[in-house]
Amino acid sequence: MHIYKVCMTNCPTLIVTVGLPARGKTYISKKLTRYLNWIGVPTKEFNVGQYRRECVKIYKSFEFFSPDNEEGLKIRRHCAMAALNDVRQYLSVEGGQVAVFDATNTTRERRETIVKFAEQNGFKVFFVESVCEDPDVIAQNIVQVKLGSPDYIHCNTEEAIEDFMKRIKCYESSYQPLDENLDRDLSFIKIMDVGRRYLVNRVDHMQSRIVYYLMNIHITPRSIYLCRHGESDLNIKGRIGGDSGLSARGKEFARSLRKYIQDQKIKDLKVWTSQMKRTIQTAECLGVPYEQWKSLNEIDAGVCEEMMYEEIQEHYPLEFALRDQDKYRYRYPKGESYEDLVQRLEPVIMELERQENILVICHQAVMRCLLAYFLDKTADELPYLKCPLHTVLKLTPLAYGCKVESIYLGVDAVNTHRDRPECSVCTSLLKQAWQTSLIHSFSSYRTENIKKSRYVEESPIKSPPASDL
């Protein structure tokens, strides 16, 4: 007898891919995992194909996937259950909120097994099916992704393509797509022909965010250019934040950026900036239309705006130490944290996913957040990513990642990067800051109480007037 856990409103979600091979399931799984982790939802991908490769060290041919291959079916079933056991461990023990179960899951029987598993463990299930009949898209996927698979490292291109096409045939005979009538009680999104059409059924809040994201991504080849504004007057003075204009070298960079962009001959390039002077002045020099985004404004340093780090350490020693201890989650007094900034930039990421060639002229903290999304960096790594002034980063999205090219435009600038402090230094600074803070607090308390006692001693006690007695 199975004991079923009650599925609460905020219970973990199990995302399950569905579809024939070479339909972009792993592409979707990896992008979803990267996006959800970036917005702060602990997510992990479980690729059943990888479990199979660990179980069967040497791949021989498509015959392993034949529906008549009993041994192959037994191994594949074992690998799927091993992956589900790891899903249970991740969601129930390790604190994960979303698991992505990446496999074909083409039969209704297999999907029912997964649903039963989820019900027994108190997980919600959301199916993501990718359906594609376009032979050009399928062929492109095979060439770009599958030929680089460990299964085909010892094959030439023609042999690999032929074997993989036969592997697809093995699944086609038993494929049972999600059906809006037969599966009306399930939560799912059906993506048809790489986003030409969608069918969405029964989604909750988290699933609706996933649906919105999946409806914005595309596979059109493009490049994303990220750079900071030219060096500003406050950069030269070593002061953070503010809204100053460009220095002489900053203006020289803007001219160099114009030449670089012109030399690239980028088709239909769009340009985005923040609403701050230094990014607008940089874009103005390009001589092309640009769009301002308030969301791209630099992180708000609150009471520390336009201060030097040495001044912050002197006037706000506890704040300085706390920020060094957890830079991602630390929030400036009356300002923002990197965590806040990521939430502010989510609409920008959604729109970036919809765009083709684009140049984003932004700020150090903003560029770090955008870069962390595309490069799949953790919250711990994000605040220390190097984004130097007067350097363009060209990002080219690939099937399962992103290629990065760094182009320095040859104009000197100050270095605004602060390296991650050592843990021992952080602990020492925090201890000193607490002591300093306590001394200040005690001193203020004594001063205030002395003032109060003097007031009491100097104030004569008057008898109430007769009329009040």
Find where tokens 């957890």 sit: 326
Exposure of 347 by Cβ count < 10 A (0-12 exposed, 13-18 middle, 19+ buried)?
exposed
C-alpha 80/C-alpha 101 separation (Å) is 9
358-362: strand order across its sheet: 291-292, 270-273, 358-362, 224-228, 391-398, 401-408
Among candidates 114, 154, 111, 134, which has minimal Cα distance to 22? 134
Task: Give me Rg for the CA atoms of the chain.
Answer: 29
C-alpha 264/C-alpha 358 separation (Å) is 12
How many residues make up the chain in this entry? 469
Residues whose CB is less than 8 angstroms from the CB of residue 95 and which lie 6 or more positions away in sequence, other chains included: 42
Candidates 79, 132, 170, 304; catalytic one: 132
Helix H or strand E segment including 75:
helix 70-92
Candidates 151, 298, 324, 336; catalytic one: 298
Q: By the 8 A CB rule, do 430 and 322 touch?
A: yes
Within 10 angstroms of residue 444's Cβ, the number of other Cβ atoms is: 10
Helix H or strand E segment including 398:
strand 391-398
Candidates 102, 129, 231, 252; catalytic one: 102
Decide if 298 is catalytic: yes
Decide if 132 is catalytic: yes
Q: Where are the alpha helices (DSSP H) in 178-226?
A: 205-214
- How many angstroms separate the Cα of 17 from the Cα of each of 27, 48, 98, 110, 225? 11, 11, 13, 12, 32
Pairing of strands 401-408, 391-398: antiparallel
Candidates 129, 170, 229, 369; catalytic one: 229
Q: By the 8 A CB rule, do 357 and 264 touch?
A: no
Q: How distant is the alpha carbon of residue 81 from its chain centre?
A: 29
Beta strands in 171-229 (DSSP E): 188-192, 197-201, 224-228
Phi, psi of 13 (to 5 degrees): -110, 135
Phi, psi of 45 (to 5 degrees): -100, 140
C-alpha 422/C-alpha 415 separation (Å) is 20
Beta bridge partners, 349, equal none
Catalytic amino acids?
102, 132, 229, 298
